[in-house]
């Protein structure tokens, strides 16, 4: 009887098994859905409330800005009126003392913070003008003051050398009007900082000269946000994204002399919404606590309903996670659940045994009991991972037996298998250090892993192996004389990965067999598929095109009679770098 057949009667007796759990899950889902809908409504309300608050703050900010400009204009008018009523200045103006007039304009303007100060006649023509180095035409001053007097305005804004200035003009009487005193105050960082201190809003002034690009006159923003705002050119109303900063803006455009002036009022959306989002987080925490309490209560109720099966459910989960060493709880019971627990425990032991068998099949050679190709590759990859951080060398040997096929053919496969087991025993007992790995890769090929061995140490091990195979192997009463060829590859000189090292060791082994050498270290010249050989083949094609090949004929003379019986054709390649290299030979 399988596990399901044992479990089904218990589930039927409990009235559906997981019904209580499904009921609890559905209740939690519905509760979460209601709470999520409530939080979504709260989130939309927060957004709407934040925008209403921002609209109100920006409207108030607009009035504060206009009042600030009026206050600034009154201060300038008071300063200009004080200068126009100064007896010394009036005397200098009446006498035409240009030096005294210029000095008074410069000093008085510096005291009140005016960058432009001038004295105009009754026709608004400048008699003396101090601009602080800014380029401002006398005609522009004439037009500004004339417009002020004509409109009866308290002040007027104009662009001076691309920068906004607020101008005021007051008459100088004695007692009739004998001239006009004009003062210009720069609108820049000082003004916007005052505005920010009064309203808490960020302010940016953008001056747009006639026919020119917008210029940043003053701002309370950081450099990246201010530059992003300047590049917008227009569209300052509503939500703005300024270099990743979410803001809400309102622009006041004023037509000024020489262009236009945009005063952009901004407020961070995050700053306004922060208290509301804090309330949202509190509501979310209350929701989470409520869901948690509801879940705990429901779980307690479900536990009371499903207690007899919980222990077995946990046992099945542990077995499903692949831990067959953990015993199943509840097997000591003498009821149906105990029978089910014992069935689980037997299945656990079977799984552990099968896993051990699979591991042995995957990594062990069944004939010799040593590692197979997969196990050796895994050991080599692990050794390279350990050696890489400290650049510790790793040696790989590949051993191929000579005349093994002859042993199989003459003495039979059973003797051949015994011979392979004897080779594995000799490698394990005679030539290996502690920590080295020996494996049978297949057929008559064996491999050795020597962690920490450089080229010299690996070559010494290979020579010791070759000498050990000089002694015949005794199988029962049969002595078998068997030699071996060993290929050597070392990390990192001969390859950077496990596959590459194995391939190069195999190339060196076959080269040793061809040359009848006991052991050879891998070199690229051994590999017919190496990059050097491919490069040489590519150069040979170029040699044909450039006429670097030449043919030589060597006569063949018969010793008897000294007759000419033929010729041997030799193709020689005059390589630009290897002029004496012999490329090929053809027989005719």
- Residues annotated as catalytic are 444
Give the E-state strand segments of 443-509 in sequence order: 445-451, 473-475, 478-480, 484-491
Torsion angles phi and psi, residue 456, rounded to 5: -65, -45
Inter-CA distances, 11 with 16, 20, 47, 182, 313, Å = 6, 12, 51, 99, 12
In terms of residues, how long is the chain?
A: 588
Inter-CA distances, 443 with 186, 232, 372, 417, 476, Å = 94, 76, 11, 10, 22
Q: Looking at the DSSP assignment, which residues form a beta bridge with residue 440? A: 446
Strand, coil or helix: 420:
helix
Tokens of 546: 């450039």
Give the E-state strand segments of 257-374 in sequence order: 259-268
Q: Are strands 519-521 and 484-491 parallel, antiparallel or unpaired?
A: parallel
Strand, coil or helix: 370:
coil
Taking the C-alpha atoms of residue 33 and residue 296, their distance in angstroms, rounded to an integer, is 18
Taking the C-alpha atoms of residue 99 and residue 120, their distance in angstroms, rounded to an integer, is 15
For residues 552 and 566, is the Cβ–Cβ distance under 8 A?
Answer: no
361: how many CB neighbours lie within 10 A of its CB? Answer: 11
In Å, how far from its chain's centre is CA 271?
30
Taking the C-alpha atoms of residue 269 and residue 70, their distance in angstroms, rounded to an integer, is 29
DSSP 327: P
Taking the C-alpha atoms of residue 415 and residue 568, their distance in angstroms, rounded to an integer, is 50
Tokens of 280: 């949202």
Helices and strands (H and E) in the chain: how many: 15, 20
Taking the C-alpha atoms of residue 46 and residue 362, their distance in angstroms, rounded to an integer, is 62
For residues 64 and 91, is the Cβ–Cβ distance under 8 A?
Answer: no
Residue 561's contacts (CB-CB under 8 Å, 6 or more residues apart) are none
Taking the C-alpha atoms of residue 251 and residue 207, their distance in angstroms, rounded to an integer, is 13
For residues 280 and 39, is the Cβ–Cβ distance under 8 A?
Answer: yes
For residues 181 and 83, is the Cβ–Cβ distance under 8 A?
Answer: yes
Within 13 Å, how many C-alpha atoms sit on residue 100's CB side? Answer: 13
Angle of helix 3-13 relative to helix 269-320, nearest 10 degrees, comes to 120
Tokens of 74: 């009154």
Strand, coil or helix: 86:
coil
């Amino acid at each position: 009887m399988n596990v399901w057949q044992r479990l089904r009667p218990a589930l039927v007796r409990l009235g559906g098994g997981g019904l209580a759990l499904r009921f609890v899950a559905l209740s939690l889902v519905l509760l979460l859905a209601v709470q999520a809908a409530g939080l979504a409504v709260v989130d939309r309300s927060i957004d709407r409330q934040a925008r209403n608050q921002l609209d109100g703050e920006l409207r108030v900010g607009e009035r504060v800005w206009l009042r600030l400009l009026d206050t600034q204009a009154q201060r300038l008018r008071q300063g200009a009126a004080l200068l126009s009523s100064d007896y010394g200045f009036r005397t200098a103006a009446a006498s035409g003392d240009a030096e005294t007039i210029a000095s008074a304009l410069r000093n008085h303007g510096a005291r009140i913070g005016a960058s432009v100060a001038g004295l105009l006649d009754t026709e608004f023509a400048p008699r003396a003008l101090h601009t602080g180095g800014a380029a401002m035409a006398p005609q522009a001053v004439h037009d500004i003051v004339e417009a002020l007097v004509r409109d009866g305005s308290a002040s007027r804004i104009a662009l001076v050398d691309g920068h906004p200035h607020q101008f005021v003009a007051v008459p100088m009487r004695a007692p009739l009007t004998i001239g006009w005193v004009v003062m210009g105050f720069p609108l820049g960082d000082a003004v916007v900082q005052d505005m920010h201190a009064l309203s808490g809003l960020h302010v940016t002034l953008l001056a747009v000269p006639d026919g020119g690009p917008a210029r940043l006159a003053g701002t309370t923003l950081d450099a990246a946000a201010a530059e992003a705002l300047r590049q917008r050119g227009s569209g300052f109303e509503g939500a703005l994204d300024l270099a990743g900063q979410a803001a809400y803006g309102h622009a006041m455009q004023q037509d000024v002399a020489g262009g236009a002036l945009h005063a952009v009022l901004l407020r961070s959306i995050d700053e306004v919404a922060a208290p509301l989002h804090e309330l949202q987080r509190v509501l979310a925490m209350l929701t989470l606590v409520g869901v948690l309490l509801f879940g705990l209560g429901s779980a307690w109720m479900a536990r009371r309903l499903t207690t007899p099966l919980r222990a077995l459910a946990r046992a099945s989960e542990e077995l499903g996670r692949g831990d067959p060493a953990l015993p199943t709880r509840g097997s000591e019971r003498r009821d149906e659940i105990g029978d089910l627990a014992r069935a689980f425990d037997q299945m656990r032991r079977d799984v552990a045994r099968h896993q051990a068998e699979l591991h042995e099949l995957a990594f062990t050679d069944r004939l010799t009991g040593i590692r197979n190709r997969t196990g050796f590759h895994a050991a080599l990859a692990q050794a390279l991972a350990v050696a890489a951080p400290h650049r510790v060398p790793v040696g790989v040997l590949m051993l191929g037996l000579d005349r093994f096929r002859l042993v199989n053919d003459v003495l039979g496969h059973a003797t051949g298998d015994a011979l392979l087991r004897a080779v594995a025993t000799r490698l394990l007992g005679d030539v290996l250090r502690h920590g080295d790995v020996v494996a049978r890769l297949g057929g008559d090929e064996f491999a050795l892993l020597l962690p920490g061995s450089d080229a010299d140490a690996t070559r010494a091990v290979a020579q010791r192996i070759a000498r050990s195979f000089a002694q015949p192997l005794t199988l029962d009463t049969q002595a078998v004389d068997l030699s071996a060829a060993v290929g050597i590859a070392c990390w990192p000189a001969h390859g950077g990965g496990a596959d590459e090292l194995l391939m190069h060791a195999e190339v060196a082994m076959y080269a040793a067999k061809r040359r009848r050498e006991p052991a050879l270290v891998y070199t690229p010249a051994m590999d017919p598929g190496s990059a050097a050989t491919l490069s040489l083949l590519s150069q040979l094609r170029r040699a044909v095109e450039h006429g670097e090949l030449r043919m030589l004929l060597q006569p063949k003379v018969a010793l008897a009679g000294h007759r000419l019986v033929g010729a041997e054709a030799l193709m020689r390649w005059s390589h630009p770098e290897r002029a004496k290299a012999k490329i090929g030979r053809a027989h005719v």
